[in-house]
Amino acid sequence: MTMWVPDIEGAEGPKYLAIAEMLARDVADGRLQPGEKLPPQRELAYQLGVTLGTISRAYAEAERRKLVKGETGRGTFVCANEDAPPSPLTPPVDGSSNLDLARNFAFAALNPDLGAAMMAVARLPDLASLNAYVPSEGLEHHRRAGAEFFNAHYGGDVTAQQTLVTCGAQHGIKVLINGLFERGDVIGVDELCYPSLLDSAVHDGYRLMPISNLRKSDGSLGAMDPEAIGDAAKRYGLRGLFIMPSVQNPTTHTMTLAERVAIAEACGAHGVKIIEDDPYTPFLSEKAAPFSQLLPELTASISSMSKVMAPGLRVGFVHLPMMRTAGIRNFIGESVWMASPVAAEIACYWARSGAIADTLSAKRTALAQRYSMLQRVLAGFSVKGGAEKPFAWVSMPEGVSSVMVQEHLRGRGVDILASHYFQLPERHRHEGLRLSLGNIARDEDFERALMILGEALETFGSGSRGRELMG
């Protein structure tokens, strides 16, 4: 074990970030070698004169950056490049036995029959055409199916000409950011935001700016503050917004029509473009108007079948009402040439056959049952969600570190996501956990994971231990 003790004297900002930055620097400079064991958290806290929670956050941030990996019962080790820990944001490695509340994959067992769809597609008279290069924007009938999917399940009003096929929603985000903005542009995000965007957009050279969210009556986060949007446009040259109007990830907030109109007016007044990503809208029985209707000249929307029923297909769509599609089409071509026409054809078959509506109905029923269970088991804690929402947000008791709870749960066989994954490193202000409702197959296992979580929240939120976790 190395006696590594970073010098954080005079460091600005949160101490845990200073420790993580020093660790990153020492790894890059070779002072910390792959495989070296870091000091125990309690020992390093004593050496630096900080709380245990501060060290826990620092190690968690280093693990998020894939600099170190923690091994239950052994400690924390510097990673070799090929030995980075698996991200809890991606599918788990084979053989993982943990109960998974972290990954947001809703009820895979309720997805439609892939075999039946493949057999139907195999009987198409022009099947061979799907095994050839197609235009980067997708085939006409695939684009038409994407427009119909968006209009039926998102409340949109777009045409096939305004729709392009992508390799899932995440690819759609990437092509829109690169197609609509220039490197160095400022793009606004929620205080708590979709985690994959936080790494990928910054890596690609864009500047992300958290926009203040309005607070609801219970203190939880609501929609972005329209005044803050206008202020960011005037003071910092804000060029765009990334927003999730319905079932925001991770807070679960769904904007009212009034909130959407106010944001649309603020963006319209300052020429701020909107990327509207709403993968969970199809689960909702009641929908408000999308931004593609409220501000069509400045909005690009994303829809996807992955969260609904077909993650293995990697089929998504981008919709650009009143906007030129050439730049987006070109970026699709430059990044992947084209989305798979075979996968898009299967998605079209499901859209035509009624499988989407049937799958949504079954998953809504399952989500309502899981949410009822969640409310019962975690009745004593602050939980945000809903009967048609595939995840929930659990706020921490006062003084409790969500990172510490996440690490404790992992040691007890439960994976969950702490709030640092959803915030830019310099803006960590919120403590909470995102809890997926649909990735554990059996109800009894889901209930067991909830009970382990409830026990952890009760223990960590009580007495001296809760105070010890304050960073």
Query: In this structure, are residues 166 and 317 in contact, taking their beta carbons and an 8 Å threshold?
Result: yes
Higher pLDDT, 277 or 398: 277
Give residue 467's pLDDT: 40
Buried b (16+ CB within 10 A) or exposed e, 64-73: bbebbbbeee
Of 27-31, 216-220, 387-391, 452-456, give the lowest mean pLDDT range. 27-31
AA identity, residue 209: M
Question: Where do we find the tokens 């310099």?
Answer: 426
pLDDT in tens, 135-147: 999 999 999 999 9
Q: How far is CA 9 from CA 3, 15, 49, 129, 226, in A?
A: 18, 10, 11, 65, 39
CA-to-CA distance for 287 and 396, rounded, in angstroms? 30
Q: How confident is the model at residue 65 (pLDDT cuts 50, 70, 90)?
A: confident
Q: Pick from 213, 168, 171: which is nearest to 188 by CA? A: 213
Q: Which two tokens stand for residue 22?
A: 């020093």
Give residue 35's pLDDT: 85
Cis peptide before 250 (omega within 30 of 0): yes
The mean per-residue pLDDT over the stretch 308-329 comes to 89
CA-to-CA distance for 197 and 242, rounded, in angstroms? 9
Q: How far is CA 188 from CA 159, 192, 262, 274, in A?
A: 28, 11, 16, 9
H-state helical runs in 49-167: 52-64, 114-122, 140-154
Give residue 468's pLDDT: 43
Q: Pick from 169, 438, 114, 200: which is nearest to 314 by CA? A: 169
Buried b (16+ CB within 10 A) or exposed e, 122-132: eeeeeeeebee
Q: Which domains does the chain have, with CATH numbers?
A: 15-83 (1.10.10.10), 99-104+357-468 (3.90.1150.10), 114-353 (3.40.640.10)
- What average pLDDT does the structure give for the chain? 90
Question: Where do we find the tokens 């510097």?
Answer: 78
Whether the predicted pLDDT of 122 surpasses 80: yes
Residues pairing with 394 in the sheet: 383, 433
Give residue 465's pLDDT: 45
Question: Where do we find the tokens 């607070």?
Answer: 215
Residues pairing with 242 in the sheet: 275
Give residue 32's pLDDT: 87
Q: Pick from 430, 198, 151: which is nearest to 292 by CA? A: 151
Q: Which two tokens stand for residue 78?
A: 């510097």
Q: How confident is the model at residue 469 (pLDDT cuts 50, 70, 90)?
A: very low
Q: Over 11-67, what HEC string results? A: CCCCHHHHHHHHHHHHHHCCCCCCCCECCCHHHHHHHHCCCHHHHHHHHHHHHHCCC
Higher pLDDT, 214 or 202: 214
Q: How far is CA 402 from CA 67, 399, 440, 455, in A?
A: 20, 10, 21, 14
Query: In this structure, are residues 206 and 184 in contact, taking their beta carbons and an 8 Å threshold?
Result: yes
Give residue 31's pLDDT: 80
Whether the predicted pLDDT of 91 surpasses 90: no
Give residue 30's pLDDT: 74
Higher pLDDT, 82 or 100: 100
Q: Pick from 178, 235, 185: which is nearest to 208 by CA? A: 185
Within 339-456, strands assigned E span 383-384, 391-395, 414-415, 417-418, 432-436
pLDDT in tens, 124-134: 999 999 999 99
CA-to-CA distance for 329 and 334, rounded, in angstroms? 9
Whether the predicted pLDDT of 271 surpasses 80: yes
Whether the predicted pLDDT of 464 surpasses 50: no
Q: How confident is the model at residue 302 (pLDDT cuts 50, 70, 90)?
A: very high
Q: Which two tokens stand for residue 217?
A: 């009556």
AA identity, residue 306: S
Q: Which two tokens stand for residue 74?
A: 């052994």
Q: DSSP for 156-207, please give it.
A: ----GGGEEEESHHHHHHHHHHHHH--TT-EEEE-SS--HHHHHHHHHTTPE
Q: Which two tokens stand for residue 370?
A: 């899981």
pLDDT in tens, 352-379: 899 999 999 999 999 999 999 999 999 9
Backbone angles phi, psi at 131, to 5 degrees: -105, 25
pLDDT in tens, 133-182: 999 999 999 999 999 999 999 999 999 999 999 999 999 999 999 999 99
Helix axes 341-353, 355-377, angle to 10 degrees: 80
Q: Which two tokens stand for residue 318?
A: 């981008």
CA-to-CA distance for 95 and 80, rounded, in angstroms? 21
Whether the predicted pLDDT of 13 surpasses 80: no
